Amino acid sequence: MDFRILPVTPFQQNCTLIWCEHTRRAAIIDPGGEAARILALIDELKLTPERILLTHGHLDHVGAAGDLAARLDLPITGPHRDDAFLIHALPEQCEMFGMPPVRTFEPDQWLTQGDTVTVGEATLDVLHCPGHTPGHVVFHHAAGGLAQVGDVLFQGSIGRTDFPRGNHRDLIASITERLFPLGDEVRFIPGHGPMSTFGQERRTNPFVGAASRGGGRWDAAF
């Protein structure tokens, strides 16, 4: 499996194209906005998109999903149903953040812990990782040692939990009990900022790694 990261919107959210190298069939993960730029990159890479995958329901991760799904006739898969309240409130999210209105949508499939999704001949495992939002999911390609973690974990930091239905305790459990056990060598694409590995964060992340002192609450910028 190969991938390309395209930061979009003023939030510089990492929209990711992932594709099966054998078939060139692709998924669009977290298209937060700027649909025209995403479409241009798909054309440049000569990919055939087959689905849209969403890690969670915040506007900066889903803003272009409805538009792209309609234009390309693609199903929208994810997140977990516990984020339905965020997706149903997209008009309010746009107003809150001063963003232009976006096309509303309903996911074609909600995901839960233990589900799998396919992209071409590749299989992604789904992990339900609540905390930043209650319905946040992570996509893990075990064969390639790659995970798309949305706003659960960042290089050197962790996700915010001060948004509606965020939960700091759940976030820490998601990272330490579901992500870190996948293996130190696993690379991850966060929702914002540069990539890292679970091993690097387990050792050095000041809020959840070995360098933390086990109890300080801290919320990142996203």
* Domains along the chain with CATH numbers: 2-204 (3.60.15.10)
Which CA distances in Å does 89 have to 67, 102, 111, 219?
A: 16, 11, 19, 23
- If pLDDT is split at 50, 70 and 90, which confidence band does 215 have? very low
Q: What's the pLDDT score for residue 219?
A: 44
Q: What's the pLDDT score for residue 99?
A: 87
Which CA distances in Å does 198 have to 30, 154, 157, 178, 190?
A: 21, 10, 12, 11, 11
- If pLDDT is split at 50, 70 and 90, which confidence band does 217 have? very low
Radius of gyration over every alpha carbon of the chain, rounded to an integer in angstroms:
16
Mean of the pLDDT values across residues 69-92? 97
In this prediction the pTM is 0.94
- Fill in the DSSP letter of residue 89: T
Number of Cβ within a 10 Å radius of residue 112:
15
Summarised one tens digit per residue, pLDDT across range 99-156 is: 889 999 999 999 999 999 999 999 999 999 999 999 999 999 999 999 999 999 999 9
Indicate the helix (H) or strand (E) that contains 97.
helix 90-97
- Helix axis angle, 35-45 to 65-72, nearest 10°: 50
Mean of the pLDDT values across residues 173-178? 97
15: burial class by Cβ within 10 Å (0-12, 13-18, 19+)?
buried
Hey, is 98 helix, strand or coil? Answer: coil
What average pLDDT is seen over the chain? 94
Write the CB contacts of 97 (distance below 8 Å, at least 6 apart in sequence): 59, 60
